[in-house]
A and B are shown apart, each in its own frame.
Chain A
Amino acid sequence: MELQIWQIILITLLAFFKTVDWSTTQITTLNTVIYGMLTGLILGDMSTGLAIGATMQLMSLGVVAVGGASMPDYPVAAIIATTIAITSGQGMEAGLALGIPVGMLGVQFGVISNIVKGPIARKAQEYANKKQFNKMINITLLSPILSGLTSAIPVLLSITFGKDIITSILEFMPAWFTSGLSIAGGMLPAVGISMLLMYMPTQKYISYLIVGFVLSAYLKIPVLGVALVGFACAYELYKKKIADLSLLESQYQGGENEDE
């Protein structure tokens, strides 16, 4: 199918909104599958969008831009991959062939925009020191717009020209390239999972990791079920630790505990 102008506009706006939301209100932050879904909705094929969004979500699990580090732009990959897959009619593999590389480039776009925001911040402070407070506020507002462009521009270019490029590339591409890409798609979630293990007290609580593995790999319990078991363990641990803490504190003073 051919993209309509309104579809191009909506998808580009979606990509723009994505980075603005991720860096301001943060309602859909790290939610990649929703962008596959919404792109699918715009193109009238939500199930393809969901499937590609899910693949990207799994690929991105645990990959977090902690402390402002840049990360691959998985939702942009999902938006492009969904669009290409639906419009070219060549399925997920064609979509991923363009989506993944552009998503990986997202790291660079992020870095560039962070560099440009340096002078903006300095200019804003300059205005403040000249008592031009309104100018300070207004120039600060450029930053979210700039963030949005880092995803809107690659998406606009990819969905406008991507289909033809990808179709001609796919004709030349040897089989090992496309099948290698889908094998990589299967392996990449390991990166995120390893990163998660690094943030968490893995060595201290490795038993729980093993329990989760056994419940799922051997007993085939769905994730939601394992999460409930995990919640039960977490709740007991929390209660015990809080009790320990208040015991410790009551030795000094009769303080009250305010917990959330």
Chain B
Amino acid sequence: MKMSKQTPVLSKKDLRNASCRWFIGPSTFNYETQLAPSVVFALYPSLRKIYKDDDDLIQSINNHYKYFNTNPWVASLVLGAALAIEDENGLDALNTVQDFKVSLMGPLAGIGDTILWAMIPTIFGSIAAYMAQEGSPLGVYLWTALTIGFFFVRTRLFEVGYKQGVKMITEFGKHLTIFTEAVSVLGLMVVGAILPSTIALTTGITFKSGDVVMEIQPLLDVILPALLPVILVAIIYFLMSKKKIKMMTIILFIIILAMVGAATGILV
């Protein structure tokens, strides 16, 4: 056991290299260690530089082969900070590194997934889709330009994590929570806005009293625009959040329901 602190050896170039190698991202996702193979792939050249001895290197690699899964974009910060710990303390820090990675994994995944995988695709996706329906690819370009911008930011995130270190990343997490909450407000408003126009569900039920044929749909429209879509969302939300029914089950059920509805003329 070496107790002495080491001199840090990693340069800016090494960290950029690690950032770019981390672009291997969730492609190695497996059910046993999840993203661990990507972590090793990204960190390997840096670890090689830190540990001159092969056996030390193997110890560190085995440590990084432990279960890891979080939002890949935010993970760069965590892994950058983890490299900083190892660069300073070497093998002594393996447990610290592991604890640090595990403790931030959950919160950062929640935040990152909400903003990056739910908010941005919803907001930009619906804008892009509506523009595309009118024949304009502008919304697609806008969204792609944004993610390309993010791409360049992501090539720098290991450096940020390395420099700011554990304390700042933990601190940053607090602000990120507030940021997420604020973005959620924006997201909720957009979701409210796309709800009536995105979901198409109307009924073809008619009532006959004598010679007068009365359609139900215009009556529903008077009560609330997009009443049926609102009810549909409420039911699915209830089934998924309270009854824990899986997404695929609901999708299949909707397809069957739509076919039955089409056959009977209840849905048009």
Residues of A whose CB lies within 8 Å of any CB of B are: 20, 23-34, 36-37, 46-47, 50-51, 53-55, 57-58, 60-68, 71-72, 104, 107, 114-115, 117-118, 120-122, 124-125, 128-129, 131, 133, 136-137, 140-141, 143-144, 147, 174-177, 179-181, 183-191, 193-202, 205-206, 208-218, 221-224, 226-227, 229-231, 233-235, 237-238, 241-242, 245, 257-260
Contact = CB atoms under 8 A, between A and B. Distances in A.
B199 interface: yes
B40 A140 contact: yes
B100 interface: no
A184 B130 contact: no
Interface stretch (B81-89, B176-184, B212-220): B176-184
Contacts of B232: 187, 190
A208 B189 contact: yes
Given A46-B137, A54-B130, A205 B188 contact: yes
Interface stretch (B6-14, B90-98, B254-262): B254-262
A16 to B, nearest CB: 12
Contact of B258 (A47, A65, A187, A200): A187
Contacts of A104: 248, 251
Contact of B171 (A61, A238, A258): A258
Contacts of B103: none
Contacts, number: 371
A188 B132 contact: no
B254 A205 contact: no
B17 interface: no
A72 B189 CA distance: 26
A242 B199 contact: no
Given A193-B191, A212-B193, A226-B193, A199 B236 contact: no
Interface in B210-250: 224-226, 229-230, 232-233, 236-237, 240-241, 247-248, 250
A43 to B, nearest CB: 15
Contacts of A181: 255, 258-259
A141 B25 CA distance: 11
28 contacts: A23-B29, A26-B147, A33-B129, A37-B140, A50-B132, A58-B129, A66-B117, A117-B37, A125-B61, A125-B65, A128-B61, A128-B62, A140-B28, A179-B262, A181-B255, A183-B261, A183-B262, A187-B200, A187-B201, A191-B247, A191-B254, A194-B240, A201-B181, A208-B185, A210-B192, A212-B192, A216-B196, A233-B189
